[in-house]
């Protein structure tokens, strides 16, 4: 098997047993980037010398059977909105084209401590909003990879790295995950630190993970999740998982309200077929009905995002408005006009929304929806619609997406699973079962694309 | 000694030893209210029958040597903005003149669990803002008692109850405390729950305590403070205090910047004399210089209060604007005009302000300032100026006030001590020493007033 096709766990295990050299692994991924990235453009910055030096060091340590942590020698991609010490961090804006942070974001630091090698920075849309970067979809270069974590999703799909991290304020992880046929998780808001990440709308910003299997994503979570040992709310368990896989008592709610209305017929059929398969696999699958306040979710989201984004960008924007893309510019200018009481009303309605949505878990252990309206739209002028993801980000429910079929156009379709706050471990266990039931095993052929 | 002159701890101890009957104690306080409250008007509601029934029950239990908790049989005053089950709660507004909650605020519930008797509801200004209620200052009925916790401060000063609770958004505990010559503490924001309290500006609202000695206030804190046993940040220790009294290494910063400028010359002289005495008592006392960002504290406060108050009152105000006092009405109408980005800018500057202010504790263990500009102003049309208290509420530093002298007009002057967040216990220990150094032992003579 080519090293680039190894899963994260396979590579980690091979490095530990001495059958994979960290240096050769990195070299093969760099070669793949050299071969493909002029077309995919997933990477904003790759410092080859530094990466090779780091890989040599990992190799020397591995020979001595010294391992930094569970990700020893694993190259990962970092969305270009996380601070990386000594490595250019552009935020997708010309305003930061020469910005080299003097420290790592907390999440980056945790990855390094686990032994990961920062392979490079992946393309973000401008300031993680909707103005696209140059990245293309590895499944079909004429289609968008989605955004805002465009490069992270595309790099993992194109086998340029086994895993990557990104951020989601509305649908910036789940949507590109679905469009690129990879697995993602966005845990509850503070489970992965946003310290050292350029904010878009801080009360909604979340960090998330891209991988090619649920197990790989879980391995990343194990290194990234920061849970205070005495925190009784957060339920991420460090060390060996004590969770048991969801059994026949596990109740899955398929949410057709709203989500099916916004999905393509192909997506609806795919999700319905999956629900049917899951019911046949011993799960209780029933239709979950959304509470009335759900109708306010989109307006609440828009109000919070635009006002916080305007506050956040106020100074930078006033200095160089001409550098802003039209979508972010409109967001900021609209946000500047929001009345304080309107922002606060939206924030307070959000609490009511969260409480009403949490009641869904009285009847269900997890919720099933499409990960996107359909396959990735044609063209790279838009990153697609985050409408399937925003409701869960607003609720702050941990959410996974998994590829589950190829659409008629040969591009992947994704399914989305949501669980109660802090229930990431059981969400991952469910994800493993769904992954097995689905049996998705296609991969993009970029030479053909 | 008349029962009304007993300190809280003296009364609690006498009840426990059987030398004070809870029923007689309550009767003597009710008699004092009957005698004086037509002039002071500290009380909004006193349900005599319910109070006497509760006192009889406490008495019966005490005879059996059954005590509900450390405050068994102690009558306390509750600002009329805390929900009290079965007891009218007006918020100082005609809109709530017949409102009888069906549950207790968390703080009230904790007091009841500790054995306290809810003697009644004390007058609040309208919705805890600046429009005065009818309460007068027991030291001189022609002067304001301050606000918004007007009745709680006046009732404790007039010996109608040994202790009471109130709330502070800017200076609604410290200022009336100073004007009425009583001791107060406002702990770090979540140390006393605001669950079941009508909000004014939720990001600034704090609960606080009124008593006639530091020990009494500490006894109230022991029953009111809610500290999660696993919370590593909050440092309130339940059970016996392990603190040691501040010694000669303890550094007190006197803040003359801003505070002396806003104080009367009489106040300045009093605070300077106290600082001199403390230096003579073995403390290190030096001048603390405020950071540059302090200049923004008043604008930040005003922006947050008006916007959150407007959001909070939006619905009620639109239904019955004519019932609102002119000060609250102006606050809400101004708040309605605030732009979202301006509110968020103020909230974000608050964080910068808090960090800069916290640096003062690199050099000092506590900060010393006047508790008010001077003695209570004449007239009851205004509740006086909260300018000395707001900066600490904005910083969320726990703050105590203590009476420290009588002004030339026979009304009390107060001193204010502030400590780092969650350092309430050491603040109280310092307060005991300051109390002893000051030796304030005057009390109001309402017959004369």
Closest Cα in chain A, distance from residue B38 (Å): 41
C-alpha A162/C-alpha A75 separation (Å) is 7
CB A364 within 8 A of CB B359: no
Residue B265 lies in a domain: no
pLDDT at A361: 97
Which positions 193-232 of A are in contact with B (Cβ < 8 Å)? 228, 230-232
pLDDT at A228: 56
**Among B340, B343, B344, B347, which would you mutate to test the A interface (most chain A Cβ atoms within 10 Å of its Cβ)?**
B340
DSSP assignments along B115-164, one per residue: T-EEEEEEP-SGGGSSS--S--BTTBTTB---SSSHHHHHHHHTTS-SEE
Q: Average pLDDT in the A163-168 region?
A: 98
pLDDT at B447: 72
Cross-chain residue pair A341–B230, CB shorter than 8 Å: no
Q: Residue A73 pLDDT > 60, yes or no?
A: yes
Write out pLDDT tens, residues A100-147.
999 999 999 999 999 999 999 999 999 999 999 999 999 999 999 999
pLDDT at A307: 97
Q: Are residues A192 and A304 in the same domain?
A: no
Q: Which residue of A has its CA nearest to B230?
A: A230
- Beta-carbon count within 10 A of A154 CB: 35
- Tell me what percent of the residues of chain A surpass a pLDDT of 70: 95
Q: Residue A244 pLDDT > 90, yes or no?
A: no
pLDDT at B230: 47
Closest Cα in chain A, distance from residue B229 (Å): 10
Mark which of B303, B338, B357 sits at the end of a domain. Answer: B357
**Beta strands of A157-290 (E only): which ranges?**
163-168, 183-186, 206-211, 251-254, 284-287
Q: What is the mean pLDDT of chain A?
A: 95
Q: What SS3 class is residue B197?
A: strand
On whether any CB of chain B is under 8 Å from the CB of A307, the answer is: yes
From the list A393, A389, A402, the residue with the least C-alpha distance to A421 is A393
Write out pLDDT tens, residues A297-345.
999 999 999 999 999 999 999 999 999 999 999 999 999 999 999 999 9
Q: Are residues A208 and A335 in the same domain?
A: no
Residue B366 lies in a domain: no
Write out pLDDT tens, residues B392-425.
999 999 999 999 999 999 999 999 999 999 999 9
Q: At what angle do helices B340-358 and A340-358 cross, to 10 degrees?
A: 80
From the list A159, A130, A160, A158, the residue with the least C-alpha distance to A146 is A130
CB B394 within 8 A of CB B297: yes
C-alpha A243/C-alpha A245 separation (Å) is 6
Chain A residues inside the 8 Å CB shell of B307: 340-341, 344
Lowest mean pLDDT of A149-163, A232-246, A279-293, B66-80, name the range.
A232-246
C-alpha A333/C-alpha A129 separation (Å) is 14
pLDDT at B203: 95
Write out pLDDT tens, residues A179-203.
999 999 999 998 999 999 999 999 9
Closest Cα in chain B, distance from residue A428 (Å): 28
Q: Are residues A215 and A314 in the same domain?
A: no
Q: What is the distance, to the nearest Å, from the Cα of residue B276 to the centroid of all Cα atoms in its chain?
A: 27
Closest Cα in chain B, distance from residue A342 (Å): 8
Q: Average pLDDT in the A267-281 region?
A: 97
pTM for this model (two decimals): 0.85
In degrees to the nearest 10, what's the CA dihedral of A96, A102, A107, A112? 120
Q: What is the mean pLDDT of chain B?
A: 95
C-alpha A75/C-alpha A54 separation (Å) is 10
C-alpha B18/C-alpha B178 separation (Å) is 34
Q: Are residues A297 and A223 in the same domain?
A: no
> Taking CA B326 as the corner, what is the angle to CA B320 and CA B331, rounded to the nearest 5 degrees?
85
Mark which of B340, B357, B374 sits at the end of a domain. Answer: B357
DSSP assignments along B377-417, one per residue: PBBSS-----TTTHHHHHHT--EEEEEEEE-TTS-EEEEEE
Cross-chain residue pair A340–B314, CB shorter than 8 Å: no
* Domain assignment of residue B185, given as a range: 3-249+428-438
Q: Residue B176 pLDDT > 80, yes or no?
A: yes
Q: Are residues A225 and A297 in the same domain?
A: no
pLDDT at A246: 81
Mark which of A340, A357, A374 sits at the end of a domain. Answer: A357
Residue A84 lies in a domain: yes
Q: Which residue of A has its CA nearest to B314?
A: A341
Q: Are residues A169 and A231 in the same domain?
A: yes
Q: Are residues A309 and A241 in the same domain?
A: no
Residue B210 lies in a domain: yes
Q: Per DSSP, what are the bridge partners of residue B401? A: B184, B416
Write out pLDDT tens, residues A343-383.
999 999 999 999 999 999 999 999 999 999 999 999 999 99
CATH number reported for the structural domain that contains residue A118 in this entry: 3.90.1300.10
C-alpha A255/C-alpha B3 separation (Å) is 66
Residue A58 lies in a domain: yes
Q: Are residues B223 and B345 in the same domain?
A: no
Q: Are residues B181 and B307 in the same domain?
A: no
Write out pLDDT tens, residues A425-441.
999 999 999 999 999 99
Taken in order B311, B315, B321, B324, the sign of the CA dihedral is negative
Residue B398 lies in a domain: no
pLDDT at A241: 54
Write out pLDDT tens, residues B216-239.
999 999 999 986 544 545 555 555
Structural domain total, chain B:
2
In degrees to the nearest 10, what's the CA dihedral of B342, B344, B349, B353? 120
Q: Average pLDDT in the B421-430 region?
A: 94
Q: Are residues B68 and B125 in the same domain?
A: yes
From the list A113, A111, A105, the residue with the least C-alpha distance to A89 is A105
Q: What SS3 class is residue A112?
A: helix
- Per-residue tokens: A33: 């980037």
Q: Per DSSP, what are the bridge partners of residue A207? A: A167
Residue A64 lies in a domain: yes
> Taking CA A91 as the corner, what is the angle to CA A196 and CA B342, rounded to the nearest 5 degrees?
75
Q: Average pLDDT in the B6-34 region?
A: 97
Question: Does the predicted interface ipTM exceed a cut of 0.85?
Answer: no
C-alpha A166/C-alpha A279 separation (Å) is 33
Q: Are residues B297 and B205 in the same domain?
A: no
Q: Are residues A122 and A216 in the same domain?
A: yes
Write out pLDDT tens, residues B106-164.
999 999 999 999 999 999 999 999 999 999 999 999 999 999 999 999 999 999 999 99
Residue A284 lies in a domain: no
pLDDT at B173: 98
Could you identify the residue written with the tokens 């994704």? Answer: A414
- Per-residue tokens: B61: 């239990």
| DSSP 8-class letter at A98 | T
């Amino acid at each position: 098997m080519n090293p680039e096709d190894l899963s994260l766990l396979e590579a980690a295990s091979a490095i530990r047993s001495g059958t994979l050299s960290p240096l050769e692994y990195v070299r093969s991924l760099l070669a793949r980037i050299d071969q493909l990235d002029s077309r995919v453009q997933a990477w904003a910055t790759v410092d080859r010398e530094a990466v090779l030096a780091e890989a040599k060091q990992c190799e020397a340590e591995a020979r001595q059977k010294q391992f930094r942590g569970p990700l020893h020698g694993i190259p990962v991609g970092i969305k270009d909105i996380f601070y990386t010490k000594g490595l250019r961090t552009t935020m997708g804006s010309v305003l930061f084209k020469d910005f080299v942070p003097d420290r790592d974001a907390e999440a980056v630091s945790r990855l390094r401590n686990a032994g990961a090698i920062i392979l490079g920075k992946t393309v973000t849309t401008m300031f993680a909003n909707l103005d696209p970067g140059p990245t293309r979809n590895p499944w079909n270069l004429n289609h968008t990879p989605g955004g805002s974590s465009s490069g992270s999703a595309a790099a993992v799909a194109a086998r340029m790295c086994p895993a990557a991290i990104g951020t989601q304020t509305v649908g910036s992880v789940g949507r590109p995950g679905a469009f690129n046929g990879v697995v993602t998780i966005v845990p509850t808001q503070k489970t992965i630190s946003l310290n050292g990440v350029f904010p878009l709308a801080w009360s909604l910003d979340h960090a998330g993970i891209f991988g090619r299997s649920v197990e790989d994503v879980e391995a990343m979570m194990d290194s990234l999740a920061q849970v205070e040992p005495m925190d009784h709310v957060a339920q991420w368990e460090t060390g060996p998982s004590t969770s048991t896989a969801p059994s026949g008592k596990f109740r899955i709610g398929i949410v057709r309200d709203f989500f099916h209305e916004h999905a393509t017929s192909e997506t609806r059929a795919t999700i319905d077929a999956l629900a049917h398969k899951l019911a046949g696999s011993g799960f209780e699958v029933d239709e979950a009905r959304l509470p009335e306040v759900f109708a306010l979710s989109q307006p609440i989201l828009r109000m919070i995002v635009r006002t916080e984004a305007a506050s956040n960008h106020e100074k930078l924007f006033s200095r160089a408005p001409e550098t802003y893309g039209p979508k972010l510019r409109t967001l900021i200018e609209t946000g500047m006009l929001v009345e304080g009481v309107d922002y606060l009303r939206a924030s307070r309605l959000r609490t009511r929304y969260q409480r009403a949505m949490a009641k869904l878990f009285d009847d269900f252990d997890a919720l099933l929806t499409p990960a996107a309206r359909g396959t990735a739209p044609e063209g790279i002028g838009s990153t697609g619609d985050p409408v399937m993801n925003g409701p869960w980000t607003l609720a702050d429910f941990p959410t996974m997406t998994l590829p589950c079929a190829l659409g008629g156009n040969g591009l992947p379709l994704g399914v989305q699973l949501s669980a109660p706050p802090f229930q990431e471990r059981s969400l991952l266990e469910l994800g493993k079962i769904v992954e097995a039931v689905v049996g998705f095993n296609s991969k993009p052929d970029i030479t053909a694309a």
